[in-house]
Structure 1
């Protein structure tokens, strides 16, 4: 976990003192500063900013203009909402005309302009929108739904806020291999292989073959989103991470008893054990050799799709071996 940094001034271009901090500490400083100004817990601001970082931009060309490479935040405001829906100047930074046309843009950096490409201004504006209905979490959720018009977005931001509140300004890329490196296991790229049980379908994941009872571990910081039985995956667990990816672990022999839906997990934490459950009603075992089916799904804000986890597994395995040397 990254050490908690003190709240300090932040801008588009961090000064020499702040540049020695990690990017996660610099963001935390900005979240804390805006949080003090608006009385919003920093982890809610971090959650919104991270969610914006994970969703597909409405226009790649437009996104490049909105998000400079040296910025700390990733918030992209809906077209017309910053300067006002009928403002003839969509890039307007004048506070008077923004207010006149019903825009939400605000000036937090005290330079006389409401600039959506300024970290302080953009985050302060989003924070002001968030508290427009009140300061309770239920008020935040209503405001978020009004902004995104998407139940999934509200749910994801709540999950991200809980992760940040629990762990602090963590590196979302922190990882672990799903099986202990000292255990006996083998795997290859099984993405797209044919599967027949329950109807002809393609394999959306990687099978890691190992003996019964080998420990299965979380590959990331995240929140337990699902736990229980399904006919295909047997005893399975699903974990949501800060990249808005859903990690799916199936065919388990059993679960770590202390883990429940809504709990936080860390990279390398035990979540269950390799088994051969699935392909039938609850409790069905042994219809195939013991293995862990690991799948990964990406939520872009509008859709969720599976992608091949094999390259990531090789990367995580290599990185963990290097750390253990």
Structure 2
């Protein structure tokens, strides 16, 4: 049986595509495809090293002035404490602006956006497009933006298709999943 030239070209293209998909330069595309197919997380890793979920106050929705509400939780820790990615994802932005000061945005599972704000510093060489995993260092706790002069903390928020929602139940769910007696950061 003889294959036509078109069939051979199609087979060659399929092999080339399969090879390319596995190459390091396609890591971001592979991660984006996976993230879009993942459901929203049922639990989240603590985004500040050494802080127990039980120590985080539920401030989501608290009034902030006359015209806005708090769209996250504030996680207090000493200045310079590492801020970690709570999920796998792709860094969408590393910037300094507005209320959040130094901030990092990560596109996570179900294409939700995770917001890490008031950072004192960013992780060295952190840049948009970088693939991160739970525990990847994003920066350090600080008081930039509208937090200037307050106790150092991380403002952590999650934005899904319906807007901001409270991350604290997911942080507490991860803490509850930790087996009794297991070593954890700060528990």
TM category, shorter:
0.7 to 0.9
Quick check: which one's strand share is greater? 2
State the distance in 1 between where 2:179 and 2:50 align.
8
Q: Is the CA contact (8 Å cut-off) linking 2:28 and 2:131 kept in structure 1?
A: no
Deviation at 1:319, TM superposition (A): 3.3
Equivalent residue number for residue 183 of structure 2: 324
> 3-state DSSP class of the match of 1:315?
helix
Deviation at 1:268, TM superposition (A): 0.7
Change (3 A) 1:222 1:234: same
Change (3 A) 1:229 1:165: same
Q: Is the CA contact (8 Å cut-off) linking 1:172 and 1:221 kept in structure 2?
A: no
Task: Extract unaligned runs of 5+ from structure 2.
Answer: 1-10
Q: Is the CA contact (8 Å cut-off) linking 2:118 and 2:144 kept in structure 1?
A: yes
1:163 aligns to 2:31 (yes or no): yes
Equivalent residue number for residue 178 of structure 1: 47
Could you tell me which of 144, 148, 152 is aligned with 1:290? 152
Deviation at 1:165, TM superposition (A): 8.2
Of structures 1 and 2, the one with the larger relative CO (CA 8 A, separation 6+) is 2
Change (3 A) 1:42 1:320: farther
Change (3 A) 1:171 1:195: closer
State the distance in 2 between where 1:230 and 1:43 align.
37
Change (3 A) 1:43 1:200: farther
Equivalent residue number for residue 248 of structure 1: 115
1:189-200 aligned within 5 A: 189-196=58-65, 200=67
Q: Is the CA contact (8 Å cut-off) linking 2:112 and 2:160 kept in structure 1?
A: yes
Q: Is the CA contact (8 Å cut-off) linking 2:27 and 2:131 kept in structure 1?
A: no
1:262 aligns to 2:129 (yes or no): yes
RMSD: 3.7
Q: Is the CA contact (8 Å cut-off) linking 1:253 and 1:277 kept in structure 2?
A: yes
Q: Is the CA contact (8 Å cut-off) linking 1:233 and 1:277 kept in structure 2?
A: yes
Equivalent residue number for residue 106 of structure 2: 239
Equivalent residue number for residue 173 of structure 2: 315
1:30-49 aligned within 5 A: 39=14, 41=18
Q: Is the CA contact (8 Å cut-off) linking 1:298 and 1:307 kept in structure 2?
A: yes
State the distance in 2 between where 1:245 and 1:257 align.
24
Q: Is the CA contact (8 Å cut-off) linking 2:28 and 2:129 kept in structure 1?
A: no
Quick check: which one's helix share is greater? 1
Q: Is the CA contact (8 Å cut-off) linking 1:252 and 1:272 kept in structure 2?
A: yes
Q: Which has the larger radius of gyration?
A: 1
Task: Extract unaligned runs of 5+ from structure 1.
Answer: 1-35, 45-157, 280-284
Equivalent residue number for residue 220 of structure 1: 87
Q: Is the CA contact (8 Å cut-off) linking 2:51 and 2:77 kept in structure 1?
A: no
State the distance in 2 between where 1:43 and 1:220 align.
26
> 3-state DSSP class of the match of 1:318?
helix
